[in-house]
C-alpha cells in the first residue's frame, strides 16, 4: 500500500526543478538559478585534476584512489544535498531522470562514455535494499543504460554485516585475499576481465566506497574503472579562525 501510494505520488507530482524543488512549467527540469550549479566542464580552464576534472584548488580527490576518473555534474551542498536526500530516502524517484541527464552531459564532456564498455552500480546489502525498497545507485545506472544503450550488469554484491568469511564463494578464496565489502556477483564474475567499467553511485564523498568497489573489479581483471555520481562532496573551505597559513 505504501509503495502504491509512493508510485501515485510520483506520477501526479507537479513539474519541479529537480534541484530546488520549485514548481516549473513543463517540460523544464531545472530553474535558472540551479542551472548555474551544474558544472560546465567545457569552461573550466587552467590546471585541472585528471581524475575529477575540477580546478586543482577545488579538487577534493583523496590519494590512493584506484579509479581512473570520477565524473559528477554537481557538488553535494545546499539544495543539491536536499534534493539527493529526497531521492535517496523519501522515494522521490522522479529525480532519477534529471540527475541521470546531468550525469550523462558530464560523462560526455569528460570523454568517459566513449571509453565505457559496461555500466554497473554500487550495490546495497539485500537487507538494506529490502528496507528502502530500491537502490538509488541502481536506478541512476538504469537511467544511464536507457540513455546510452551500454550494457548494464550487476557485477557486484555487498555482504550483510554478519556474513561469515567461510561462506565466501570459492573463486574469492582462490585470489587468496581481500574478501572486502564488495564481491563479484557469481553469475557475472567472468564479465569483468579486460573490460572498461563505469561504476555508478549517487554521491561521491570520500571516494572510499567507490574505491572499495573499484578494487574488487580490478582484482578480477577489469581493464579500467571509471566512476560516476550525481554529486560529489566539495573541498571544505578553510575557516579563517582555524587557518594556520
Ligand atoms: Zn531550482
Ligand atoms: Zn580531483
Q: How far is the CA of 48 from the centre of ligand 2 (A)?
A: 8
Q: And the C-alpha cell for 55?
A: 580546478
Provide the pLDDT confidence category of residue 176 given band limits of 50, 70 and 90: very low
| Domains detected in the chain | 2-235 (3.40.50.2020)
Q: Starting from the CA of residue 17, give the closest ligand.
A: 1
Distance from residue 79's CA to the centre of ligand 1 (Å): 8
Compute the distance from residue 102 Cα to the ligand 1 centre, in Å.
Answer: 14
Query: Which band of pLDDT confidence, cut at 50, 70 and 90, is reported for residue 107?
Result: very high
The answer to whether the beta carbons of residues 226 and 112 sit under 8 Å apart is: yes
- Which ligand has an atom closest to residue 50 CA? 2
Cα-to-centroid distance, 124 and ligand 2 (Å):
26
- How many angstroms does the Cα of residue 195 sit away from the middle of ligand 1? 38
Of the ligands numbered here, which is closest to the C-alpha atom of 110? Answer: 2
Alpha-carbon separation of residue 173 from 72, 125, 166, 180 (angstroms):
35, 21, 9, 12
DSSP one-letter code for 71? E
Report the pLDDT value the prediction gives residue 61, as an integer from 0 to 100.
94
Query: How many other CB atoms are found less than 10 A from the CB of residue 151?
Result: 13
Of the bound ligands, which one is closest to the alpha carbon of residue 59?
2
Distance 111 CA to ligand 1 centre (A): 27
Question: Distance between CA 108 and CA 201 in Å, rounded?
Answer: 17
In angstroms, rounded to a whole number, what is the distance separating the alpha carbons of residues 240 and 25?
Answer: 42
Which ligand is in closest contact with the Cα of 79? 1
Residues above pLDDT 90, as percent of the chain: 73
Q: Which residue has the cell 551542498?
A: 77
CA of 235 from ligand 2 middle (Å) equals 10
| DSSP class per residue in 78-131 | HHHHHHHHHHHHS--GGGHHHHHHHHHHHHHHTT-GGG-SEEEE----HHHHHH
State in Å: Cα 4 to ligand 2 middle: 41
Nearest ligand atom owner, CA of 51? 2
Is the pLDDT at 166 greater than 60, yes or no? no
Who's near 99: CB < 8 A, 6+ residues apart? 18, 73, 84, 87, 140, 143, 230
Could you tell me which of 121, 129, 115 has the C-alpha nearest to residue 155? Answer: 121
Alpha carbon of 103 to ligand 1 centroid (Å): 17
Question: With contact defined as beta carbons under 8 Å apart, do 110 and 69 qualify?
Answer: yes
- Bridge partners of 158? 182
- Please tell me the distance between residue 6's alpha carbon and the centre of ligand 1 in angstroms: 23
Question: Measured in angstroms, how far is the CA atom of residue 89 from the centroid of ligand 1?
Answer: 20
Long-range Cβ contact pairs of 184-192 (< 8 A, separation 24 or more): 184/155, 184/156, 184/157, 184/216, 184/217, 184/220, 185/153, 185/154, 185/155, 185/156, 185/157, 188/153, 188/154, 188/155, 189/220, 191/118, 191/153, 191/155, 192/155, 192/217, 192/220, 192/221, 192/222
68 Cα to the center of ligand 2, angstroms: 11
pLDDT digits (tens, 9 = 90+) for 1-45: 667 775 665 566 688 999 999 999 888 999 999 999 999 999 998
Give the per-residue pLDDT at 171.
47
Does the pLDDT value for residue 206 go beyond 80? yes
Query: What's the pLDDT score for residue 1?
Result: 63
Amino acid at each position: 500500500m505504501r509503495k502504491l501510494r509512493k508510485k501515485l505520488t510520483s506520477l501526479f507530482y507537479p513539474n519541479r526543478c529537480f534541484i530546488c524543488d520549485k514548481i516549473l512549467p513543463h517540460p523544464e527540469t531545472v530553474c535558472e538559478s540551479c542551472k548555474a550549479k551544474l558544472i560546465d566542464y567545457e569552461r573550466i580552464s587552467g590546471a585541472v585534476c585528471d581524475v575529477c576534472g575540477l580546478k586543482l584548488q577545488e579538487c577534493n580527490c583523496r590519494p590512493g584512489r584506484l579509479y581512473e576518473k570520477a565524473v559528477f555534474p554537481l557538488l553535494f551542498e545546499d539544495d543539491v544535498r536536499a534534493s539527493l536526500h529526497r531521492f535517496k530516502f523519501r522515494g522521490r524517484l522522479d529525480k532519477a531522470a534529471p540527475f541521470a541527464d546531468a550525469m550523462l552531459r558530464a560523462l560526455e564532456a569528460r570523454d568517459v562514455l566513449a571509453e565505457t564498455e559496461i555500466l554497473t552500480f554500487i550495490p546495497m546489502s539485500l537487507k538494506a535494499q529490502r528496507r528502502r525498497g530500491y537502490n538509488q545507485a541502481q536506478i541512476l545506472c538504469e537511467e544511464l543504460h536507457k540513455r546510452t544503450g551500454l550494457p548494464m550488469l550487476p557485477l557486484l554484491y555487498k555482504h550483510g554485516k554478519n556474513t561469515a568469511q567461510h561462506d565466501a564463494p570459492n573463486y574469492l578464496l582462490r585470489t587468496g585475499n581481500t574478501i572486502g565489502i564488495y564481491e563479484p556477483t557469481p553469475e557475472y564474475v567472468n564479465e569483468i576481465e579486460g573490460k572498461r567499467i563505469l561504476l555508478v553511485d549517487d554521491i561521491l564523498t570520500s571516494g572510499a566506497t567507490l574505491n572499495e568497489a573499484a578494487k574488487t573489479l580490478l582484482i578480477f581483471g577489469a581493464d579500467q574503472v571509471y566512476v560516476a555520481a550525481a554529486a560529489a562532496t566539495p573541498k571544505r573551505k578553510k575557516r579563517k579562525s582555524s587557518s594556520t597559513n
